[in-house]
Amino acid sequence: HSTPMKLLKSYARAKNNAEGLKIINDLVSRRHNPEDAVSWNCVIDVLIRAKCHFSALRLYQRMMQVGRQPDSYTLSILVDGFTKAGEVDMAFRLLEILPQKGASPHVVTYTTLIDTLGKAGKISAALKLFQDMKSIGCDPNAHTYSVLINVLGLEGRWEEARGMFREMKNRNSINPDVHVHNSLMHVLGRAGEIDLAYVLFKEMKGKTLRPNVSTYNILVYALGKVGKVSDACEVFEDMKKKGVVPD
């Protein structure tokens, strides 16, 4: 609960790596360890965002040395950081090791991995992780389906993306949000399936989901792509009338 640690937490939340690193350097030079798990995680998060992956790993080891257990956050932060840095092998090693130290994988851990692997073109690895998480009883959420729809769409697999959306709707624990609707609309629009995309748009409004700027950008693009210019203009006017602002 020291003042520098409070500052570091707010820098971590604001993703202000430069200021965060200054504080970390200061704490390190005074041989001052974070106290609670949240503080350790914030330090590790700032180091990861600053691309100091191996410093982050050393901090994790130090955390263990002083008898502090890593948690799901620690695991997600490290796995996401190493995967995005292209260190996929290390990410999978952490995914094996940390659970033995008390850090269980969480839906966030899997979702970030699926996202990054899929965007790197490793779609079958991503789909396998999706099966893995379900088989250990880790329930996917709307974020998970959104990233799956995006990566399937990148491969042109829009029918499977639709299948994912349906699977999500069949889980009554999930409330499909604006993002996941946008993801599928974008995939359908790029595939030229404008009618299906438009149905989705109407579904959104029927569910009292508020279309955002991305929704309108996606729809205008999709309509333009199939030459429905006047429809595109209409949608654009609708957006202005609703006063949609960036969120």
168: Cβ–Cβ under 8 A, 6 or more apart, which residues?
Answer: 140, 142, 145, 174, 176, 180
Both tokens of 28, joined, read 């390190």
Tell me the closest approach of the beta carbon of residue 209 to RNA, in angstroms. Answer: 11
DSSP annotation of 100: G
**143 touches RNA (CB under 7 A):** yes
Amino acid making up residue 235: V
Question: Judged by CB under 7 A, which stretch of 23-31, 53-61, 156-164, 216-224 contacts RNA?
Answer: 216-224
Asked if 180 and 146 count as a contact pair (C-beta separation under 8 A), the reply is: yes
Annotate each residue in 15-54 with x if it binds RNA (CB under 7 A) or - if it does not, as one string: ---------------------xxx--xx--x---------
Query: Are 69 and 101 spatial neighbours (Cβ–Cβ below 8 Å)?
Result: yes
How far lies 92's CA from each of 59, 71, 102, in Å? 19, 16, 16
Task: For residue 9, state whether it binds RNA (rule: CB under 7 A).
Answer: yes
Considering the rule CB under 7 A, would residue 147 count as an interface residue with RNA? yes
With beta carbons less than 8 A apart as the criterion, state whether 125 and 153 touch: no
Tokens of 158: 């829009």
**Cβ at position 41, least distance to RNA in Å:** 3
Nearer to RNA, 139 or 159 (CB): 139
Assess 83 for contact with RNA (CB under 7 A).
no
Contact footprint for RNA (CB under 7 A): 9, 12-13, 36-38, 41-42, 45, 71-73, 75-77, 80, 106-109, 111-112, 115, 141-147, 150, 177-180, 182-183, 186, 212-215, 217-218, 221, 247
